[in-house]
Structure 1
């Protein structure tokens, strides 16, 4: 099977956004006089959307739906201002995208980050590479729901099995399998190789250049 398209996760796969996300949430927590968290802790909060991250970051005693909603709005406000301040592509990603583009491989991003922010980061850090950058518009469509991934395949006029789904988390591997796409885990993100394999990764790569060999 020759793969004709690749859908990438964003955070932990294409870009290291850990510090910007963590800094934004810690600002919200500090303003409320709540305990903050380390970058290492936030690494395990990332992957299921920013609303979920807010819920995990708040103290258990202050975790009502109203509080989550209020803090989520504040976090988005903070994060919107700094979302590309420290966020950078992982080493080798730009070279990978250049090579894939030269081979006419269709490229897209599908993230559980808010749609507005997904599009902003993709456009600012990776201009002209992706035919689509899709983020979270409603909780019902959050990964591992494969709906948006399948919609991308339809827009490309490709069968789902002709598409690689590349990500760094268990959620990404579940999404890939739910969409009947080839699940590729990356070891440089926020989860371990074993977690990725346990979640259905067909392959786990340690360097972006390895993706060329798969294609």
Structure 2
């Protein structure tokens, strides 16, 4: 393999490869309706997404100036999970240029994996629905036996399963969680997309590079390589 390429690339899922906001909005609004609360429009939910379903519900309730007791909150989290799990991929779409970029990496022989806090079954459902499940050799998901991101242990297990070393692996994500996870795992580099689910500007999160489109990845890799170890 040309030295301008990492041996493996690990992607975050939501907000990086797939825009899942529409399906999350549907599940959230069904849950809110069960509490007798008004719906949130999709553009408002987009600003609430990030960090998991529990935080999404917290933000949605806070926007209505509503708080729940612990028992009620746990019950409604379970309902939100049920609603989303029942239909996680009807409206979700790959971000522009994601499919061709993934196929290009596959053609180059670069092993690709997913590291997400989303549960495994949901992750597979989403990737299958958008037509790229076959690209990924391994998935490390939030319901595994290892802690979720930003704990690095799941990512390190994924890198090993991809047949790579941390130094020869790049991560592509959208949030500070992805940056922290990649740094804790001592990956070769971390690239963030500018359009993801994060309240803070991606440029301020400490990544090696921020890109606006996924088809910028090949150029990003080439630009990052001189500052990193040479990979074989």
Same fold at TM > 0.5: yes
Which ranges of structure 2 fall in alignment gaps of 5 or more residues? 222-232
Alignment match, 2:49:
46
Shift of 1:207: 1.4
Shift of 1:170: 1.7
1:1-215 equivalences under 5 Å are 2-59=5-62, 61-125=66-130, 126-137=132-143, 141-181=147-187, 182-191=189-198, 195-215=201-221
- Partner of 1:136: helix, strand, or coil? coil
Shift of 1:57: 2.1
Change (3 A) 1:202 1:131: same
Q: Give 4+ residue runs of structure 1 displaced > 4 Å after superposition.
A: none
Task: Give TM-score scaled by structure 2 length.
Answer: 0.84
For the residues of structure 2 that align with 1:97 and 1:57, how far apart are their CA atoms? 33
- Partner of 1:204: helix, strand, or coil? strand
Q: How many pairs were matched up?
A: 214
Aligned residues of 1:170 and 1:195 also touching (Cα < 8 A) = no
- Partner of 1:128: helix, strand, or coil? helix
Q: Which structure has the greater CA radius of gyration?
A: 2
Task: Give TM-score scaled by structure 1 length.
Answer: 0.90
In angstroms, what is the RMSD of aligned CA positions? Answer: 2.1
Structure 1 stretch 105-114 or stretch 51-60: which is displaced more?
51-60
Change (3 A) 1:64 1:116: farther
Which ranges of structure 1 fall in alignment gaps of 5 or more residues? none
